[in-house]
Amino acid sequence: MLRALALLSLTAIAAAVQEAPEEMMTADRVGQIALALDPEARVTPRGVEMTIADVPMLIIMDPFADRMRALVPIRSVSEMSGEELARAMQANFDTALDARYAIAQGRLWTILIHPLSPLERDQLISGLGQTINIALTYGSTYSGGAMSFGGGDSGALLLEELLERGQEL
């Protein structure tokens, strides 16, 4: 429920943010969008610290390289089993959508990586929502949102999980 609310609220806020016809995304625009999503966000020329659905997120931007990253730390890699790691990689194929699970600095992260200038407002908001969703669904559905690209193993695994849960009813 919280995941659905997070994505729906981001969509509603996106519709409320008024701006000119799409222009190149800049660090300033990312900051403005972040403040619309989280009025308490801390915005700097190269990054944003914010919270969405009680999940802390960091957005790092490099305008000179024309890149941005949105990151959410999940857990220490040393605490993960091989099955958990394999499941996260399966989700990267079909249910994580535009955001991904990644490993860096001994941690598992959810991450959105995109060129900065061609990024559109709705793409950014959707990507941030997906990044939050795959962090929130780690250990359960490993999903970036309501849809799945398909063709991978996640659908069968989710069906098996739901069937197992149904046995308890």
| Per-residue pLDDT reduced to its tens digit, 107-150 | 999 999 999 999 999 899 989 999 999 999 999 988 887 554 45
What confidence tens digit (pLDDT) does each residue in 38-53 have? 999 999 988 999 999 8
Which range (3-12, 73-82, 158-167) has the least confidence?
158-167
pLDDT band at 13; cut points 50, 70, 90: low
**CATH no. of 2-164:** 3.30.1460.10
pTM of the model: 0.75
Q: Tally the C-alpha atoms within 13 A of residue 68's C-alpha that lie toward its C-beta.
A: 29
